[in-house]
Structure 1
Amino acid sequence: MPPTAFGHYAVIRPLGSGGMADVFLARDPVLDRQVAVKAPHREFLNAESRARFAREARAAAALEHHAIVPIYDYAEQDGLPYMVMRCLTGGSLEGRLARGPLAPAQALPILERIAAALDFAHGQGVIHRDVKSANILFDENGAAYLSDFGIAWMASAGAGTRLTATGMVRGTFDYISPEQAQGVRDLDGRADLYSLGVVLFEMLTGDVPYRADSGLAVAVQHISAPIPDIRARRPDLPPALQNVIARMLAKRPADRYPTGAAFVADLQRAITGQQVAAPRATPPRTAAPGTGPNFAPWLVVAGVVVAGLILFVLLRDGGGEETPDTPAGKVAAGKTPPSGPTSTAQAPSTVAPTVVTPTMTESLAPALPDEIVFYSSLTGDHEIYIIETDGTDRRQLTFSPGADMYPRVSPGGGRIAFVSERDGNPEIYVMNRDGSDQTRLTNDPADDIVPAWSPDGRRIVFQSKRNGNGDLFIMNDDGSGLTQITTTAEREGHVSWSVADRLVFNATIGEVYQLFSSDSDGGNRRRLTTSQVEEWSPEWSPDGERILFLSQRDTVDGGIYVMDADGGNVRPIYNSRAEDWGAVWSADGSQIVFAATQADYTDDLYIMDADGSNVRLLTERGAYPSWAIGQPGNAEAPADRSGGGISPGTQPIPLAGDELTRLTFGERDHYTAVFAPDQSRILLSAEMSDGWHIFEADPNGGGLGRQLTSGPYDHYQAGYSPDGRTFLTSANLDGDGDIYLFDATTGEMLQQVTNNRGMDYHPRWLPDGQSFIFSLQASDTNSSEVFLGTLDGQQTQLTHNDTFDGFASPSADGQWIAFYSGRDGDYEIYVMDVNGNNQSRLTTSKGRDASPSFSPDGRWVVFESDREGGYELFAVPFEGGETVRLTDSPGNNYFPIVSPDGQWLMFQSDRAGYHDIYRQPWEK
């Protein structure tokens, strides 16, 4: 039964029902007017949908514009949120177009208003992200309004245009921009203008530009299909309109109109018969269309890869987990190769593997840019992260079972002090900037919190309740020399240490926080603020001349203020609708980074100029930032990064340590890691909340680095190109699995390389940088075969056994291929030359031998086997001989690979519970 009232708003009748919410016509008895009340469906109400609904209300309420539907009220009734807005009785543009297309002169005034509304919203930092004809409404006089800001966000929100874990699209496929479909997180207003271009096309033709059997296939067309000629569908339109359409629907945002006003100006010229400049030409991009809206989970299977499943990593002992539905993201933008294998590629001649001795170089310390350290609950627990100052390259530094919080970077930028509850209660820890060498400094049953560094980076001041009150203590950076410097009853805390050796901190006067300063020994104490409201979280400027702090002078939630070092000249800097806190200076004092707590109680990081201008979102889900000053390197990295197989020109960077090292952490699985040719990083697949994606990671144990893939497709088994600039990976974009080429620096998908029926998996480059080995499991049989492929789409089938031949890897010189096969009734390691000839069996065991790869000198093949119970790693000489066991662990070990310098064996193991990446010395 529909509700009869929302608060004091009496429901008259339902107006409509969408996928997530109902809209009712209601009467406001207080103001004696009709209103529209929107409420989400109870069955879909969860934390995410509630936050989205509240965000819609906030976004629309913040945008007071004559062409944006105004919000009057927002409240809850019996746990159900609702918003009250102006009731528009003229219907929607979608309904109007159901009666037929419009004349250009009819479309123009509608688009003028909507373009102006978008320009206004973009100027306020809001991106609508769901512009479509159903979200354009009319009042009784026919004036158009933009509605439904349910998925709107700040321009650099980083939330991305994605499917949620429940499969809900953020953005509608018929209208979605290419960058939204590709999972680009940092959208700007040009994404909305693309969608408005789709609306223009629909208004004039009665249909959207692209149609397909599934929404996902439509998204692929937005990315890669040619822009249709609108006059082919409606020849009576002015010729110049096609130039307007072409610019609005340009694949690259840079090729579109910069503003709605610029678009309207050209539209007016086109409609009145004037010339309109043609858009700049961009190279055509094509991609294979998707085949359906639903994707089977990508599974890991033991033994034979089961036909019909999209699978990449082997299930062990007959079991496995399904991955969740995954978000919308990048799709191929390259040439579509032939639909099936051909035998046109020419392979190199057959020779035995060549022993290549890599040249070692001294350890390099690369230069570091300015970065920002913060904590986040992104993975569920509070952990410490680091990010570049433009919001890119987010990396997790801590992976502890307890909360890690309140990081502060040393003045030199090399170390981080922070608070951790990993041992039961809050204590002070330090670690290196890369997350290594995490060391506990305090050990007391009381809470030790909020550390700050001395100007020389040799001491740390912090707040402790060890004496029953909040007092300040100082210790050396190794935890020695602990000294209490305050003994008052005023609960001192949140201290900052200036270059002039003065402390500033907040302390309670009565029940209100006020600000004080003192010498570093606690002497010469001075009160800086004397207000009757809360003033807290002070931070010295880099030059020690100013103090940044938070205050409730003008708001209950607290705004950001600055004052001189003596407490004078107080002036406001910034005060948002959210709760602003944790503000700190940049290293040069020109910028301020701060956290803002949103209505859904999540924190986001923002950055602005020091005068409070140019505010922009840095990253979502971040709190308590600290600026890490850049550091110069001590050597230049090698210019030649060829390799991937090892070539004589490669100079791998030596890795630290001399024993077993765990490289990944956290409550998630990590799979199939490979080294970069120069050994500076590794690539791996990691199971995230929204699917499997390719990440860079630190080969010295610093955890995950940059995420390189995103979208509603799982990505597995990446392989670096010989020059390290690109990588191949398997992705289930069109429902099975194909191989795609990515830029290793930007993560941009460059090209779809295969398009076979069935699953193409485990791509591994050959040294020429143009060809690669991969395996194909047919969609209609249980068989898997090994192929040689090239970037231009040529394919040569190398095995023909109608059984399982797969997970093939070439030798370093590209002349030989190791793979495993079930052709003899069990699973053993085989080798063949790169032409597919000279196939021979290398192992014989009662267990399952799988996942082989060559050592860089070509003398050994390493593999996994359950021949002795659990899966352990083994090595067998390429020329034949005794098999050597390499691991002996309580867990299972898989996918071994030897480092380019021949010093390390890297593999994945579940010995700690989850699948993580490890390395140990390679001593063969």
Structure 2
Amino acid sequence: ARNLSKEGRSSFLASLHADPEISAKVAMLLEDQEEPPLSRDLKPGLRIGRYEISGELGSGGAGFVYSARDLELGRIVALKFLASELVAARPELDRLLREAKAASSLNHPQIVTVYEVVRSEDRVAIAMELVEGASLRSFCRRPQPVAQVIAWSRQIAQALTAAHSRGIVHRDIKPENLMLRQDGFIKVLDFGLARQLAAGLAAQSTNTSGIVAGTLNYMSPEQILAQPVTSAGDIFSMGLVVFELLTGAHPFRRDSPIDTAHAIAHDAPTAPAALRPDIPSDLSALVLEMLAKDPGKRPSAAEVDRRLAEIERTILVPSPRSTWRFAGPALLVLACLAVVPVLAWRFRSAPKSLKEPSMTQLTAQASVNRVTAAAISPDGELLAFAELGGTIQLRRLSDGSSQILIVPPGMRTAHIAWFADASRLLVSGDLSDQPNSVWLIPLKGEPKELAIKGKEAVPSPDGTEIAVISPDNSGIWVTKTSGGSPRQIRAAGATASFATLVWSPDGRRLAYRRQEYAAGEQAESLSAMDIEHMYRHSFEAVDVATGKLVASVNDLAMSSACGLPDGRILFLTWTSLTHVRDHELWELRTDPASGRVLAPARRLSSSHPFLFSLSASNDGRKVVAVQYLEYPNIYIADVPPNDPRPRLSTARPLTSIQASNYPHAWTPGNDAVIFESDRNGRFQLYRQKIGQKTAEHIDAGAGESVLPHLSADKKWILYRWTPPGESRRLMRVPVQGGTPEPVPIHGKLDEFNCPLRGANCVLRSVEGDQFVFRELDPVQGEGRELARTSWTPA
């Protein structure tokens, strides 16, 4: 019928002898879904406002979509344009602007973020988050694992719950509008058919033909019959998607659109469990309720999510970040093979004995979506953890059930702290355009940004005050949770900085780590990875009211810490100056009334690699930390020439071992990569040709060799070498191999760099409170001075 003329459609529909009412509705639907030809005159490189077009992504919904670069913020966005032929049609333009208004009011991790409306000459578009992934359409062709369908469905239900709570109905839920990102998260797209369900808009909820807009196969019965549409319509459409994901079949698809429309409006669906016996009966019953003909008998989105969570507990459910792959080339240059678990120590009683506590792994995340922060609730029942993708999950430790909290879009969480009543979190981190943001995130409700900016925000025990470290780590500030002007409690000075805040049990003091720059022979001999130990570390506690120092312990390095109600402070510290990647759990006993240190710190656990983000339950029996185990490997990828949107293709591994491998340069012929690796227990330099499985040593001798640079004339490799127990030195070795030799420089080596072509390398050194930059020749060594600038070690 879609391919026939308007006159031919009438004859065709009449020949089917179908329900006259359904025939009329389908005729109007086909007429309304006709789209005028879309104008595709936007070429890559064209600027629309502050956006530069990169390429076309697709079309539909009376518009077309391009990828574009935000020239001010540097991010890639999607620009959804209204077809130029329709811009003059006021109803269509109003519809697009209603889309922007409705969608921009939604703040949820499963809903695409709308940034703004863009106007340029006769063009109108919506700038929105670009979601890269695959639509659920590609997963509907065959039955998917039940556990995976539940995980996806919960995310869809949570998105609809957020929209429906604001009176917004999507009206076009279908697999094509449900995108699965590469990190495993669902994003609900295209609120172009959404309307605010408020008084006065009900009469406008249908189009000119009386048919509510939508896609036929996923319309609800009330949409088919041109009846008022509510949020229950989205539930029906979602039920159709869930049915397809579970069974690989649409419950109402028939041989023709008119028969499909009739089935949606009148036929009873087959139970999913009848088509697939391994589907739990509770899940099958829920899907049938979602597909009820009567909108009043369908569950709400929140009820769908709740019941899915109950079903989820009865089966083994994988993490939403399941292992699945997109067809097509990988887009990786450097890939990290990593497991990023949240770990928990369990003490049979409060940690007062020196018996090694047991350790349990609570999560396992891939590097691409690793855990960035975590905290256990005061009662030890809930675990909150943030992922690199921006999501914060809340997991009940007793049964593993979880929920996703509403967080600001684009949030990269660096620190999480619980309020004492466990009703909300205090989160600090960065948004794309707002670094060092601090947010209150309730377990139920919308997040709220606080006026104060800072790091490692922690609430006082009574929840009335919040302490933060200033963005430059130079001060400690306190502000009221309810608002008001922050006040500085402590200033570090020019050569010191602060980290790791801990409130005293009575809220009268703050403990922290102070680090003072230590420029000495030992500091000069350390590698770049050990930069933390260019500082002297001490524990201090300060009275919040007076700013007076009440306790101090020298040579105590707390990399992460938390406090207990009895005054004890648990903290992570490096195993030793030579093993900064390994951490141990320690305890420091303080007087809860005065803050005075009662005994020397003592070790509670053995060494574990790369721990951070420490927290504990109030009784001290559960202690949680995040562990980052990273094995970076090197990948080679092609960059197609003359591509308006630079992208990588045909990525393939150069190295593939459980060691840290970092690429630094190509050899002059671009046929081999120069890199550093700790595959033999310490960092050394290697050269490996493309296509070869083994690497060649470049340097020789004991000690650690890092940071190789190719000289501008492509004849030498310059690198930093640290012999055992000695200061680091600048070395050179011929590109084709040979004996390493020292490069003559004056004073201690700090940093150096070489351009890709042209001029000499540059050497940087420290003289007092200044950086001094000089020319660097790979053979002659240090040359003339180029510049000086002041610096601060903090």
**TM bucket, shorter chain:** 0.3 to 0.5
The one of the two structures with greater contact order (alpha-carbon pairs below 8 A, sep at least 6) is 1
**TM-score, normalising length: structure 2:** 0.40
